[in-house]
Amino acid sequence: MKYQQWKRPAGDGTGRAALEEAGIPALPALVLSARGIDTPEKAREFLAGGPERLEDPLLLRDMDRAVERIRRAVEQGELLAVYGDYDVDGITSTCLLTSFLRSRGADVVPYIPDRMEEGYGLSCAAVDTLHAQGVTLIITVDCGITAVEEARHAAELGMDLVITDHHECKEELPAALAVVDPRRGDCPYPFKSLAGVGVALKLVLALGEMEERPTLLRQYADLAAIGTVADVMLLTGENRSIVQMGLSSLRHTRRPGLAALLREAGLSEKPLTSMAIGYTLAPRINAAGRMGCARVAAELLLTADPVRGEELAKELCSLNRERQSIEADIFAQCARLAESAPPEERSALVLAGEGWHQGVVGIVASRLSEKYSCPTFMICLQDGHGKGSCRSFGGFNLFAALESCAELLEGFGGHELAAGFTIREEQIPAFRRRMNELVRLRTGGEEMTSELEIDADIPDPSILTQEQVEALDILEPYGAGNEKPVFFLGGCTVSSLNEVGGGRHLKLRLLAGGKPFDAIFFAVTAAEAGVRPGDRVDIAFCPQINEYRGWRSVQLQITDLRPGMTRAQSEQALYERFARGEDLSPQEAAFLLPSREEFVTLWRYLKVRSGGAELEETPRRLTRNLSRDFGRHAPLPRTLVCLEVFDERGLISLEQHAGCFRIALQKVEGKVDLEQSAILQRLRQLMSG
C-alpha cells in the first residue's frame, strides 16, 4: 500500500439520485453527491463557468489607486517595470501584464530576478538597477507583499511602487502607492484564492474599458490558466472559470512560443486539460526559473517570432531534462539523510547541505514529504547562510509555523502549504528542534500518516462504461479543491499481470463483478505491489479512456491497492468498527440494523436451543444453525447486533470468550421494548447522516 489509510466516503445515494433525475450522468453524479454537491441547484452552480462568474476587479482594495497611477504613467510615457517571480505563476503574471501594457503603447521593462543570484521577491539591489535605467513606476506581480524595506528604499529614490500579490500578508504592509492582494485583512474581495496571475488578470481587466473585458479575457486567459494550475490554487469559484476559459483558448493560442512549446511537449494532438498543464507544460516553464534562466520562459511567452519560439521551446525542454537529472541526484542524497535521522527529528524533516541546486530543492521537499509523511524543509547552504524551501504534509500550516519562529530566521514568505525562508547556518539546529516540536504539538505526539481521500465506492462495476467515464469530463478542470475523482472497487481478482515500460510500471487484468478490466499502476513493480495472479485485491483508482491504435477502452489507473477481504471478512470488519464506536456511513449503518423478523427468529432459536439452560455457541455454528433450523440467513454482524441488543435490554446475559458466546436467558417481567435500545438508536442516527 502506498497510503497508510484509505478514507472512504460516508454519503448516501439520495443526492446522486436527484442529480441523475436532473440529467447528470451516473458517474459524475456519484462524485458530485459525495462531495456535498447533492442537489441540481448546487450542481448547476458548481459546473457553471464563463466571464459572468467573475467578480468586479475594482472590489479589490487599492485597485482603483493602482489603475489611476498606471494609466497616468502610460499617458505620460514613463518607463515602467513589471517585476515578477521566477516560478510559473510569476512568469505568466509578468508576461500577461507586460503584453497588455505594451499593447497600450507603454514603455515596459519586464524584470524577473535570477533565482541563484538575487533570490525571491523585490530587492533593494533590483530597485537600484531599475532606477538607474530610468524606471519611475514598479508594478510587482506575484510578489512584494512582504517588501517593507524595499518599498521604503524605492520611495527614497523617488520611485512609485504598485504591489499586486496573492501571498499571505504579515502584520505590516509595505508603504506602496497601492497594495492589491485579496488576502489583505481589509480587502472586501469575496474570492481570496486567486493566483498571482489571477490578480494580474484582474488588473488588466480594471485597466481596460468595461466593454473590452470579454475580449481581454479571451486574450489572456491562456496565461492565467497556466499560472493558476501551476501554483496549485483552488480550482473552485473564479479560478474554475479562469482555467475553463484558458483551456479553451490555449488550443488556439496566438503566442508563437507557447504554441511551439505545446508541440515540443507532445501536447499538440492531445486533449488540453488541467492535468496536461500541471504535469507536462508547467514543469517545462518552471524549469527555466529553477535553473536560473527564467528569461528564457519569459521570452518564449512574449515573442512574436515563430522561429525564435521554436528555438526557445527546445531550450526549455532541454532545461527540464537537466532539472530532472539534478533533482534525482539530490533526492537520493536527502533520502539517505532522512533514513539516518534520529526518531526525535522525524516529525518534521529539516535537511541542510552545500552544493544543492536552489532551483530544485522545492520539488525534492515535496517528494520527501510524501515519502516520509511529514513536513519537509530543505536548506541550501553557502558561506554560513541558508536558503530554504519547504512543503507541507497533512495540512500543517507552514506560514504560521515560520511566523512562530521568526526570531530564528532572516526572512520568510509563502503559503500554508509551500513557503521559502532564509536562515543563518548556526540557527538550523534550533530551527529543526522547533519545527519538530510544532508538528508533535499539532499531532499530539502521534506520527502523521499518509491518507488517501476516496470520493466514492463503485456500487456496481457495470457503471464503468466508456460513456460514463467520458461523462466525467464535465467535472474538469481538476486541481486543488476539485481533485480528479478517486473511486473504490473492492473484491477484484487479479487475472494476470506484467511489467511494462522497461519494468517501471505494472499492467494488470482484473475481474470485478464478473466484468474484466484493464488496469495500470504507474511507478510500481509487481514485487512492490505484492500481488500475483489469483489474488483478491481492493483498488483505489481513477477511470480513464485508453486509446491505442484507434481502439478506445476503459482503463483503471490505480492510485493504490491492498489485499482484498472476503465478503464475510468485510462484514466482520464493519461490525468491529461499529463496536469500537467509529462513525459509519448511512449505508453501512443500514446494513447492520437488524429487521424485526431477524430479532424474532434469533429469540425463538435461543429459547429452543437453550432449554432453560446456558447455551454456548461459536459464531459459525450459530449462523449455520439459524439457517438450517429456521430457514433464515442473516449476516453474522446483524446477528451479533441482535445479541448485543438482547443483552443491553436484559433479555440475556452475554459473555464472549475465546471466540465463543456464552448465552443465558434472563427472567423478565412484562414486555421489553427493543426500540429503546441505545444500540439501535445509534444505528438509526448514523443512518440519518
DSSP string, 92-149: HHHHHHHHHHHHTT-EEEEE---TTTT-SS--HHHHHHHHHTT--EEEESS--TT-HH
Under CATH, what is the fold of the domain 568-687? Arc Repressor Mutant, subunit A (1.10.10)
pLDDT tens per residue, range 117-135: 787 789 999 999 999 999 9
CATH number of 5-47+454-564: 2.40.50.460
- At 427 the pLDDT is 96
Mean pLDDT lowest for which of 110-119, 141-150, 538-547?
110-119
* Residue 634, pLDDT above cutoff 80: no
Buried b (16+ CB within 10 A) or exposed e, 639-656: bbbbbbbbbbbebbeeee
Listed by start position, the domains of the chain span 5-47+454-564, 52-250, 253-340, 344-451, 568-687
Mean pLDDT of 597-606: 90
Pick the CATH number of 344-451 from 3.10.310.30, 3.50.4.10, 3.40.50.10320, 3.40.50.720: 3.10.310.30
pLDDT tens per residue, range 527-537: 889 999 999 99
Domain 52-250, second-level architecture: Alpha-Beta Complex (3.90)
pLDDT tens per residue, range 191-219: 999 999 999 999 999 999 999 999 999 99
- At 437 the pLDDT is 95
CA distances for 224 relative to 30, 91, 103, 349, angstroms:
30, 11, 17, 34
CA distances for 105 relative to 109, 201, 556, 635, angstroms:
13, 18, 52, 77
- At 119 the pLDDT is 75
- At 491 the pLDDT is 87
Mean pLDDT lowest for which of 46-55, 72-81, 294-303, 350-359?
46-55
Reported as a pLDDT band with limits 50, 70 and 90, residue 623 is confident
- At 386 the pLDDT is 93
- At 632 the pLDDT is 61
- At 544 the pLDDT is 95
Mean pLDDT of 5-19: 79
pLDDT tens per residue, range 565-591: 777 787 888 888 899 888 887 878 888
- At 611 the pLDDT is 76
* Residue 311, pLDDT above cutoff 80: yes
Reading phi first (left if > 0) and then psi (alpha if -120 to 50, else beta), residue 600 is in: alpha
Element (H, E) at 196: helix 196-207
Mean pLDDT of 370-375: 91
- At 635 the pLDDT is 82
- At 239 the pLDDT is 95
Q: Which residue has the cell 472590489?
A: 59
- At 660 the pLDDT is 87
Q: Which residue has the cell 519586464?
A: 110
Q: Do 568-687 and 5-47+454-564 fall under one CATH topology?
A: no
- At 421 the pLDDT is 93
Please check whether residue 600 is in contact with residue 608, taking contact to mean a CB–CB distance below 8 angstroms: no
Mean pLDDT of 93-97: 98
- At 451 the pLDDT is 86
- At 633 the pLDDT is 66
* Residue 11, pLDDT above cutoff 60: no
pLDDT tens per residue, range 637-683: 999 999 999 999 999 999 988 778 899 999 888 889 999 999 999 99
pLDDT tens per residue, range 30-88: 999 999 999 999 999 898 877 888 999 999 999 999 999 999 999 999 999 999 999 99
- At 133 the pLDDT is 97
